[in-house]
A and B are shown apart, each in its own frame.
Chain A
Amino acid sequence: MIRVEEIHKSFGSDHILKGISTEFEKGKTNLIIGQSGSGKTVFLKCLLGLFEPEAGRIIYEDKAIQDMDADAKSDLREEMGMVFQGGALFDSMNIEENVMFPLRMFSKQKKADMLERVNEVLARVNLENVNKKFPSEISGGMQKRVAIARAIVNKPKYLFCDEPNSGLDPKTAILIDNLIQQITHEFNITTVINTHDMNSVMEIGEKIVFLQKGNLAWQGDSNEIFKTDNKDVTDFVYSSDLFKKIRDIQNQEIRG
């Protein structure tokens, strides 16, 4: 579990995060949603320890990241897996080397054992016969799956995903969402996903944190989000024509 207490983050005179407090539960897909510029990425980078908040605490299980020294932070990061928006695969390495990278850095396993684990996680994300290909030789959807495989190869306790389905077609996006949710349940890890995709919210939003201009405007789950009367949330949810039409049809059915 990750607990966030009153965190503030500014860049110069821009106050980006204005006292956010929430909890991300273990074994659940926790979503951070909000419009572009709402502070989602800054929030995620604070959770990862890439940005240092000016005030507030981020507590992993029972230890605040602010109280950790460099070695403790490094140890914590070994328990984290991260799927970046663009995949962030290493261009100079092939798929096998990319996925094996965290194992090579932190485990004392033999190469054959590492290779076995790599093939196991590649199979888990439904990727086969791509081991010797380079990231530039595979599609965007496959790159995302490789990134997920790399993130879970070290059996992390925490999985973070920044816009995991951006730039993907709707079908592949749903596949990626479902894959992340299955992995979260299977390995009982704390997953935090940064997204503005309403399909993801509907599909896998077990806990949703809605950010608006750096404030936590609402939190709940994927059922509650469609029932809330919070205007900021409804404006966000029904900004898409598809969802507006669904709402209108539902309203007509209720009246009929």
Chain B
Amino acid sequence: MKYLSDIGSYFLMLKKTFSRPTKTSVIRELIFKEIDELIINSLGIVAFISFFVGGVVAIQTALNINNPLIPKYLVGYATRQSVVLEFAPTFISIIMAGKMGAFITSSIGSMRVTEQIDALEVMGINPLNYLVFPKIVALLFYPFVIVISMFLGIVGGWVAAVYGNFTSSEAFITGLQEDFIPFHVLYAFIKTTLFAFILATVPSWQGFYMKGGALEVGKASTNSFVWTSVLIILTNYIVTSLLLS
């Protein structure tokens, strides 16, 4: 029963988020602030993780090719497929559920605890539009983060494969080009956009409707990570079944 009521409150929140809009000049400023906090501030960690995980994927693939009949370009091929199809869109999103999600839940939750949300409401401002809408718009830029992740994951794979003497640069690049299906990139962007919406709204919902004090803000942040991750995994499964099966 509680789950049904939670689902209901989530969708009601979405409806209220798009109603009674805040003044355009104010919302524009908030969108730029959110782009800075959510997108720009995430680039460092995304670049670091993508580069090294790309490298690890290439090394693991190379180490598991024992059969001389399997071509060495498979390292590049496997790295590309892993990074473009799953690592960049899905696993970076789960990492972002921790980073961005905790930030969103704790910042909105702290505003709830210190009555700042009540203050917005009393002033006649729609707090959901003021707080959540700019995050949704800012996360429309999230696919650019994933493009960077894809690029750096593949570069990391190339560096690890070539400088680790697992394969030649030519073979790796041949692997990258082998059997390339452009729809796979589109598929990655479709699911990234859905994950971006989940990343903006689920942590906001957890923070906005939390009750209690500082301890509950911590609990809400944990719940936010759990629910955002679960929804990302489920959405990934559904989208993959629909688009690739």
The answer to whether B116 touches A88 (Cβ under 8 A) is: yes
A45-78 interface (Cβ within 8 A of B): 48, 50, 70-71, 73-78
A101 to B115 Cα, complex, angstroms: 16
The answer to whether A104 touches B26 (Cβ under 8 A) is: yes
Q: How far is the CB of B161 from chain A (nearest CB, A)?
A: 45
Given known pairs A70-B20, A88-B115, A104-B26, the reply for A75 and B122 (CB within 8 Å) is no
Query: A74: which B residues are within 8 A, CB to CB?
Result: 20, 124, 126
B114 within 8 A of A: yes
The answer to whether B124 touches A88 (Cβ under 8 A) is: no
Most buried by A among B22, B110, B116: B116
Query: A32: which B residues are within 8 A, CB to CB?
Result: none
Given known pairs A70-B20, A104-B23, A105-B26, the reply for A78 and B118 (CB within 8 Å) is no
The answer to whether B26 touches A84 (Cβ under 8 A) is: no
A166 to B122 Cα, complex, angstroms: 20
Who on chain B is nearest to A82 by CB?
B122
The answer to whether A84 touches B119 (Cβ under 8 A) is: yes
B86 within 8 A of A: no
The answer to whether A102 touches B123 (Cβ under 8 A) is: yes
Query: B23: which A residues are within 8 A, CB to CB?
Result: 104-106
A90 within 8 A of B: yes
- Selected contact of B123 from candidates A78, A85, A86, A89, CB within 8 Å: A78
A74 to B126 Cα, complex, angstroms: 9
A91 within 8 A of B: yes
The answer to whether A86 touches B124 (Cβ under 8 A) is: no
B125 within 8 A of A: yes
Most buried by A among B20, B115, B116, B122: B122
Query: B126: which A residues are within 8 A, CB to CB?
Result: 74
Query: B178: which A residues are within 8 A, CB to CB?
Result: none
B121 within 8 A of A: yes
The answer to whether A90 touches B124 (Cβ under 8 A) is: no
Q: How far is the CB of B214 from chain A (nearest CB, A)?
A: 13
- Selected contact of A82 from candidates B22, B114, B119, B125, CB within 8 Å: B119
Who on chain B is nearest to A150 by CB?
B119
The answer to whether B116 touches A105 (Cβ under 8 A) is: no
Q: List 15 A-B contacts (CB under 8 A).
A: A50-B121, A74-B126, A75-B124, A76-B124, A77-B123, A80-B123, A82-B119, A89-B116, A90-B116, A90-B119, A91-B111, A91-B116, A101-B123, A106-B23, A160-B122
